[in-house]
Structure 1
Amino acid sequence: MTPGMPLTDPAPCLAAVAAAMAAPGQPEAGLRALDRALAATVGHKLFTVLVLNHAAGQNQRYYTSRPEAYPAGGQKPIDFSSEFYRTVVTAGRPRFLHDRADIVRALFDHKLVLSLGCEGAVNVPVRWNGRTLGGLNLLDAAGRYDEAQMPLLLTFAALAVPALLHITRNWTEVGP
């Protein structure tokens, strides 16, 4: 696959995510549809959704495509000094990790990530009203992701807004 080019026509996949977000069973139904659509259009070996709890100063891996190897759950403090925070959360821009060296430099759990065959990644901000709610994280082979994919990735991130708003609203109302 040529980086930047979708694997399949994204229009039906975008429509499927939009329909899933309107269906009952949220946010899980919408996130599963997002996982399938991103696998079909951009590709990934691992897909996760990180949600930021700004009030508590924590983040949580809320969804994962491979729960047996890379489980969801658990919370950890937001690292305000990290490249992820500066680029994805504050600036609201995708962060591209192009190769193994980038993965090792940027991810504390790089050994696990590399063991899953992931040597490249992109972290895509999910933003609403000027604020980053979390991120869509796609991991795959080195060189898989590049800036040419940004329009499609940001469109999928926009479709994820209702799911992340639901999650963060529940944190605000009843705690994490």
Structure 2
Amino acid sequence: MSDQLHVVEDHAALALPPGAGAELARIAGAAAGELGARLVTVSLWRGGSRDLVRVHSSLPEVYAVGGISRVLGAEWLRRCVDNHESYLAEDESAVNSDSFEHHGVLAALELTAALNAVVVHRGRFLGCLNLLDAAGRYSAASVARAEAHAGALAAVLRRIPEPRDVRPRGPLTI
């Protein structure tokens, strides 16, 4: 890629249990294989600080594991965290909403559609499986298929200790 991308975000120190990284990669890879995705991440919810910590990334050089998403739109929080409904952004205008961060990076990567499939266990929001690709890739029918993969993530996310150590992360240049 000729342009340099800069992702600036805080970073949490993660302690993944043995085998968790491989299991996250397996489930995320299966979802990408079935639904298509140029970027797949898995995020762990931290209820106390109401943010998400990335525990898996298919593009770690751009979206690092441990990166924290703090700017979550009110509609996204209501739907995903409060109502346990997956979030579908079918086109670029939806991706450019306040539900997503790093609009410039997403645009540079031509990621103009997103599907955030919620991971819920016993009525508690644990995080989400995030699939991103070009506009038109995902539809309402894609949501149920993504949610099946997200459901498999619950056992893994429950084993990950909540990351607490936060350190500022400067620009990541690609």
TM-score, structure 1 length as denominator?
0.76
CA distance in 2, matches of 1:38, 1:58: 23
Between the aligned partners of 2:94 and 2:45, the Cα distance in structure 1 is: 23
Per-residue CA deviations over 1:94-147 (Å, capped at 9, x if unaligned) read: 111111111112323111011112100011100000111001110001011111
Q: 2:121 aligns with which of 122, 125, 128?
A: 128
Q: Does 1:85 align with 2:84?
A: no
Moved more, 68-77 or 158-167: 68-77
Which has a greater percent of helix? 1
2 CA distance for matches of 1:137 and 1:76?
Answer: 12
Name the CA shift for 1:90/1:78 in 2 (closer, same or farther; >3 Å): farther
Cα distance, 1:75–1:69 mapped onto 2, change above 3 Å: closer
Equivalent position of 1:116 in the other structure: 109
Which string of whole-angstrom CA distances, capped at 9 and with x for unpartnered residues, describes residues 48-80 of structure 1?
A: 11111113433211211000122221335474x
Alignment partner, residue 28 of structure 2: 35
Query: Contact (CA 8 Å) 1:59, 1:78: kept in 2 or not?
Result: no
What runs of 5+ residues in structure 2 fail to find an aligned partner?
1-16, 166-174
Instruction: State the SS of the aligned residue for 2:125.
Output: strand
Q: For 1:107 and 1:77, how far apart are their aligned partners in 2?
A: 10
Identity %: 29
Q: Report the Cα offset of residue 83 of structure 1.
A: 1.8
1:45·1:117 contact (CA, 8 Å) conserved in 2?
A: no
Question: Structure 2 length normalisation: TM-score?
Answer: 0.77
RMSD across aligned positions (CA): 1.9
1:2-151 matches, cutoff 5 A = 25-77=18-70, 79=72, 82-105=74-97, 106-151=99-144
Separation in 1, partners of 2:126, 2:41: 14
Contact 1:26 1:163 (C-alpha < 8 Å) held by counterparts: no
Kept in 1, the 8 Å contact 2:69–2:101? The answer is no
Matched length: 148
Report the Cα offset of residue 82 of structure 1: 1.9
Q: Give ranges in structure 1 of 5+ residues lacking alignment.
A: 1-23
